[in-house]
Each structure stands twice: as C-alpha cells, then as structure tokens.
Amino acid sequence: MDNYNHKALDKPYIQLICHPYEHETSVNTRITIDVMQKDLSRDDMLQVFQDFLKAMGYSLGVKEYLTIEAYP
C-alpha cells in the first residue's frame, strides 16, 4: 500500500505546540511538531519530546536525556 496517498497520514496523530509568549520582548514564534505515525515506540516518542524541548530553548547536557523510570 502506498502510504503517500493514505488519508490517515494527511493529518497529524499527535501535535506538540508551543504558542508565542505574548510579551513585547519575546520573539513571536510558534513551534509545532506533528507526529504522523501512530505506531512510534515509546523510545521514539521520548526522542520527539526531547527534540520539542530543545526547539523551545531548553538545553540538555551531553549526558542528559528523557527517560521513564519504574518505582520499586
């Protein structure tokens, strides 16, 4: 099946949106990440969230990353 013409892929499955901070000193920029695939792994989604944070200006150190921890 050709996914290029698949109607389900015409609209995002998940949208992450950061709206502009409404202040005169702020850059008037909206950041939007559209996730088109419905079957991303949990690790892939964590990478999407991490990239979204970076796009918003949050920096992560070389040894820092997002993770999920289980409590004992």
* pLDDT tens digit sequence for 2-56: 556 666 567 889 999 998 777 777 777 889 999 988 889 999 999 999 999 999 8
Instruction: Write down the pLDDT at residue 1.
Output: 47
Identify the pLDDT of residue 5: 63
Provide the whole-model pTM: 0.72
Handedness of CA 66, 63, 41, 45 (dihedral sign): positive
d(CA 16, CA 11): 13
Please give the DSSP secondary-structure letter assigned to residue 26: S
Give residue 22's pLDDT.
Answer: 76
